[in-house]
Amino acid sequence: MGGVIRQVVANVGITTGSGLDEIFGSAYEMDKQPGEVRADNSLFFKQDNTDWLTVQYAESMGPGDFEETSEDEEVDEATVRVGNRTTAEMLEFDRDIAIPQRYQESSQAYGMVEKWVSELGIRARTSRDKHAFFRSYADAFSGVTTPDGSALIANSHTALSGDTVDNLETGAASADNLATLIHSLRVQKAQDGSLGSCHADGLLGPSVLHPTLMVITASDMKPGTGENDINYISKVYPGLVVGASEWLDEDYNTYNTNGDTSYFVVSKMHSITRAVRVPIQNGYVGPEVDRKRRAFYRARFSERVYAGTWVGIVGSNGTA
């Protein structure tokens, strides 16, 4: 017994969890894949913070277009309103790793603990991102709805003005079909029935489609043509951000049977929002209070992703 005590004392860093936070943080912030979009991306996910247990959101109708006013005429009063109020519960994500006493007392076994903590950091990030995409783009054509009751991407949205708005396209990814999506976003109406004035700022698709989207958007000449046609997309929208996520691929996305061919064009005016109540928290808890003398390394976060409205986004399922 005396020898074990000396070993623990000599390796005090082992029993106190020294260095584990750095290992977790390095894994959590691991380098991105080419074009990878994560939940903390501020273009594709609006970032918000809250200390509430629920998040409340609604669609808002602006003042509409100005009308000509004659001299001494009474000024027209705009009609603005909020409708389709919605409430969503903040979600909790927690996970612990139990570290048996004998692992704490052995420098050799402690290497396994470090590996577990590194993997926990990776899983905290991938779980965060999976949640974000599954509650937005991955299920945009059916399960994820906006406050008007329609799917995020649909041909039957009802604006607060009463207008019907269509933000669903079907063309497979190509230069011409992408131009169609961009034009659809450009002429999209706002909630007040006026021109929404949405600019194409981001293009998002599954990782399997990322090479195609890059060719379409980055080539000097129009892809797929034998003529010397300039590439309208790369010339007119050189700042278009092209992103991708594995969570949109059919390998993981079970919500969309056309996941590998679907893609989206978004404006900075979109309302796909990530509300964070508790950012990632992680740390080591010693064995003092556990009846089995186990230590724990734990991590948690609390957040919710929701589609605040359909304004500012157009999607295609790529089936045509």
pLDDT in tens, 82-93: 999 999 999 999
Is the pLDDT higher at 56 or at 75? 56
pLDDT tens, residue by residue, 219-256: 888 887 766 688 999 999 999 999 999 999 999 999 99
Q: Are 190 and 167 in contact (CB under 8 A)?
A: no
Residue with tokens 């919500």: 255
Average pLDDT over residues 61-73: 88
- Cα–Cα distance measured from residue 173 to residue 179, given in angstroms and rounded to the nearest whole number: 10
pLDDT of res. 1: 35
Average pLDDT over residues 139-165: 97
Is the pLDDT reported for residue 20 higher than 80? Answer: yes
Number of domains observed in the structure of the chain:
1
In a domain, 74, yes or no: no
In a domain, 31, yes or no: no
- Cα–Cα distance measured from residue 147 to residue 88, given in angstroms and rounded to the nearest whole number: 11
CA distances in angstroms from 258 to 4, 51, 68, listed in the order given: 59, 37, 48
Is the pLDDT reported for residue 7 higher than 80? Answer: no
Is the pLDDT higher at 10 or at 27? 27
In a domain, 24, yes or no: no
Residue with tokens 């052995």: 106
Is the pLDDT reported for residue 274 higher than 60? Answer: yes
pLDDT of res. 12: 40
Average pLDDT over residues 257-282: 98
In a domain, 135, yes or no: yes
pLDDT of res. 228: 63
Q: Are 114 and 230 in contact (CB under 8 A)?
A: no
Q: Residue 40 is encoded by which pair of tokens?
A: 């903390």
pLDDT of res. 8: 39
In a domain, 11, yes or no: no
pTM for this entry: 0.91
Domain with 300 in it: 49-55+86-316
Produce one character per residue of 29-49: b if its CB has 16 or more CB atoms within 10 Å, e if not. Answer: eeeeeebebbbebeebbbeee
Q: Residue 215 is encoded by which pair of tokens?
A: 């060719």
In a domain, 275, yes or no: yes
Which residue type does 319 have?
T
In a domain, 12, yes or no: no
Q: Residue 298 is encoded by which pair of tokens?
A: 């734990």
In a domain, 72, yes or no: no
